């Protein structure tokens, strides 16, 4: 289990001083076993300050941008673990993994594991300027939640616990380590033990990352009971199927309206010619002179008979119906993708939970995939 926070480091008037202060803090020999628990990514921990500063100079030269005192020179992340759950070396490796995945490998960073408290924790300081020195990391709304989710996923992938409702701006707090609902306990316990033979086979094929995502999905969606998961998956499937069926009905009716409009338009243009053809007692000469119009009119009349139309609707009525259906279809389309994604996510979560808890044999899953 780990809690996280992130804060921006501003220059405060001197980039070198502000950056040096942060790097000196996280690399403190007294907290890192004499510097053994410090690593760098795309930079040397001992020269990181100079390397960070040099990249910022290149960034200014390339872009011409200078934000003065508002300039963010780096970001500081803390990843704090539950007491006795990881060693300092593991904390260092997990911190490096978080730094690498958070920056997507596009920024220099330093990671240090501190051992001066009861719970091991890792500090990550990453350069705001990217490796190409042509752009900067842009913090975003709710980034703290995104960071926590990434940290949770990394913990789960490594067989560690996560907390139900972590504070977003604090380090580890025992009070925050809440009792998790039973389904989450069962799934997490299976992920932290030796698993069964079926799960071991599935884990090798699917990767532990998928089960980590499944547990996070259950937690974030408040699904704390297996029956609730089944119910939600069933409701989502029925909702999507209903939406899909209604969309097909609308499109089918719109196709009928288009055909009807086309035939009514053709009939209105040719009905007088056909009426004259009848008045002349189906004269061969008149037919020869107006064969195309007469044929079009007869085709339209046949279509109306097949549709059992005793009275033709007006074009205006059909246009109004078509417009109404189009408006309904647009609303369905707006919800179609989210409904489909929700259905897939819930069905996949149930499928994975079934395998993790031994409710389903792994061969069934891959048999289904092969049949698609």
* C-alpha to C-alpha distance for 165 and 220, rounded to whole angstroms: 9
**DSSP per-residue string spanning 198-237:** HHHHHHHHH-HHHHHHHHHHHHHTT--SHHHHHHHHHHHH
pLDDT of residue 349: 86
Reduce the DSSP state of residue 114 to 3 states and report it. Answer: strand
Could you read off the pLDDT of 310-346 as tens digits, one per residue?
Answer: 899 999 999 999 999 999 999 999 999 999 999 988 9
Q: Which residue has the tokens 């260092």?
A: 92
Angstrom distance (rounded) from CA 16 to CA 244: 60
Q: Kindly tell me if the per-residue pLDDT of 167 is higher than 50.
A: no
Q: Where are the domains of the chain?
A: 2-178, 228-371
Q: CB–CB of 37/95 below 8 Å?
A: no
Residue 194 has pLDDT above 70, yes or no: no
Query: Across residues 94-121, what is the average pLDDT?
Result: 91
- Give the Cα separation of 243 and 33 in Å (integer): 61
Band (pLDDT 50/70/90 cuts) for residue 367 is: very low
E-only strand ranges, 56-132: 72-81, 109-114, 121-127
Query: CATH classification of 2-178, choosing from 3.30.390.30, 3.30.450.20, 3.40.50.2300, 3.30.930.30?
Result: 3.30.930.30
pLDDT band at 75 (very low <50, low <70, confident <90, very high): very high
**Residue 237 pLDDT > 60, yes or no?**
yes
Q: How confident is the model at residue 187 (pLDDT cuts 50, 70, 90)?
A: low
Contact 49, 23 (CB under 8 A): yes
DSSP 136: B
pLDDT tens profile 12-41: 545 555 566 667 777 677 788 888 888 999
Per-residue pLDDT at 192? 55
Average pLDDT on 295-308 reads 94
What is the biggest distance separating any 2 CA atoms in the chain, rounded to whole angstroms?
113
Strand 2-10's sheet: what is its strand order?
A: 2-10, 72-81, 121-127, 109-114, 38-41
| Cα–Cα dist 107/131, whole Å | 5
The per-residue pLDDT for range 125-153, each reduced to its tens digit, is 999 999 999 999 998 888 988 998 899 88
Please calculate the CA angle 363-368-372 and round it to the nearest 5 degrees: 150
CB 274 within 8 A of CB 302: no
Instruction: Give which of 156, 211, 150, 231 is closest to 348, Cα–Cα.
Output: 211
Gyration radius of the chain over CA positions = 33
* Measured distance CA(235)–CA(220) in Å, rounded: 18
pTM equals 0.56
Q: What is the pLDDT of residue 277?
A: 94
Residue 231 has pLDDT above 90, yes or no: yes
Closest to 71 measured CA to CA, from 83, 80, 63 = 63
Other beta carbons within 10 Å of 310? 7
Query: What's the residue count for the chain?
Result: 372
Q: Where are the beta strands (DSSP E) in the chain?
A: 2-10, 38-41, 72-81, 109-114, 121-127
């Amino acid at each position: 289990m780990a809690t996280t926070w992130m804060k921006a480091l501003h220059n405060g008037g001197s980039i070198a001083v502000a950056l040096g202060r942060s790097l000196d803090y996280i690399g403190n020999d007294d907290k890192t076993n004499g510097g053994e628990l410090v690593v760098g990514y795309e930079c040397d921990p001992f020269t990181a300050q100079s390397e960070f500063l040099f990249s910022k100079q290149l960034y200014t030269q390339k872009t011409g941008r200078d934000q003065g005192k508002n300039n963010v020179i780096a970001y500081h992340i803390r990843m704090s673990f539950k007491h006795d759950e990881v060693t300092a070396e593991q904390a260092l490796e997990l911190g490096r993994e978080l730094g690498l995945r958070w920056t997507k490998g596009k920024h220099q960073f330093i990671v240090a594991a501190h051992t001066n408290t009861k719970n091991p924790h890792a500090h990550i300081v990453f350069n705001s300027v990217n490796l190409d020195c042509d752009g900067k990391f842009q913090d975003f709304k709710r980034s703290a939640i995104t960071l926590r989710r990434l940290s949770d996923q990394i913990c789960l992938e490594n067989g560690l616990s996560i907390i139900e409702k972590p504070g977003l701006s604090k380090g580890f707090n025992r009070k925050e380590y809440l009792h998790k609902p039973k389904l989450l306990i069962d799934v997490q316990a299976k992920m932290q033990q030796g698993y069964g033979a079926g799960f071991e086979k599935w884990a090798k094929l699917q990767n532990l990352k998928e089960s980590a995502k499944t547990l996070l999905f259950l937690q974030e969606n408040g699904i704390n009971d297996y029956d609730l998961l089944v119910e939600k998956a069933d409701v989502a499937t029925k909702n999507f199927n209903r939406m899909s069926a209604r969309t097909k009905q609308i499109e089918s009716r719109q196709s009928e309206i288009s055909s009807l409009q086309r035939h009514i338009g053709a009939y209105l243009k040719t009905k007088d010619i056909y009426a004259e053809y009848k008045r002349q007692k189906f004269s061969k000469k008149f037919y020869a002179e107006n064969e195309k119009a007469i044929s079009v009119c007869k085709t339209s009349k046949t279509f109306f008979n097949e549709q059992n139309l005793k009275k033709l609707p007006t074009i205006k009525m059909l246009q109004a119906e078509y417009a109404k259906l189009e408006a309904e279809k647009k609303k369905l389309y707006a919800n179609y993708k989210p409904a489909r994604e929700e259905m897939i996510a819930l069905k996949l979560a149930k499928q994975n939970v079934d395998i993790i808890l031994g409710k389903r044999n792994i061969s069934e899953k891959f048999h289904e995939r092969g049949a698609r």
